[in-house]
Amino acid sequence: MKPRTKTIIWTTLVVVIVVAVGVPLTVFKLYNVPAGSMIPTLSVGDRMLVNRLSYALGGEPKRGDVVVFVYPKDESKEFVKRIVALGGDRVSWKGQAVLINGKPISRRRLDQPCSYDDITEDGQAEKRSCVLFEERLGDRGYRVIQDPGGPMPADFKPITVPEGHVYVLGDNRDNSHDSRYWGTVSRENIVGRVLVD
């Protein structure tokens, strides 16, 4: 075999290995869930797989997607939340119900026991009780929890989501630092979509 032919074969083999191993590592990334804001979908310590090309190749975020994004108030941090509204949507509240363009997100209470482990501000573990709901955004169903009898504060002002932005909420509705407190997320700050059932 000629040296040039050997070089071509080895180069091809190296490229195939790099593509086979390297591309998935750049497209997908494993993250650890650091907090309980996405319970019951994601629990503290869960490992989640994020597709970092979900929206990079022309795909558009959809209501119901769970995404990792750069936190707008501190770009050294990345958060995970669920998209509930897109650019142009008007988000408002009626009690605990979320309204998108004047229509409440479809939800029903599930008659199942509900509790979860939380960490207090002083680092202590505590068991919290909750109420479990199933919500639907379009054809996508998912579960959310709320503290029993905990009404939504009245100061969440209606907001129209700017174009090129999304409005995100945690599935643990009474224990999530999300768009209600600090506003919308620019599409450019979305790292990728979390692969969840």
Residues 130, 116 contacting (CB under 8 angstroms): yes
Residues 91, 105 contacting (CB under 8 angstroms): no
Catalytic residue among 37, 54, 176, 179: 37
Hey, which residues does 146 pair with through a beta bridge? 131
Catalytic residue among 29, 76, 81, 129: 81
Residues 38, 80 contacting (CB under 8 angstroms): yes
Task: Tell me how far apart the alpha carbons of residues 140 and 62 are, in angstroms, rounded to a whole number.
Answer: 10
- Joined tokens for residue 11: 């180069």
In this structure, is the dihedral angle defined by the CA atoms of residues 95, 142, 170 and 40, taken in order, positive or negative? Answer: positive
Closest CA to 71 of 27, 30, 19, 35: 35
Could you count the other beta carbons within 10 Å of the beta carbon of residue 151? Answer: 10
Active site residue 81: yes
- Joined tokens for residue 55: 């929206």
Any idea what DSSP says for residue 20? H
Any idea what DSSP says for residue 117? E
Question: Which residues are the active-site residues?
Answer: 37, 81
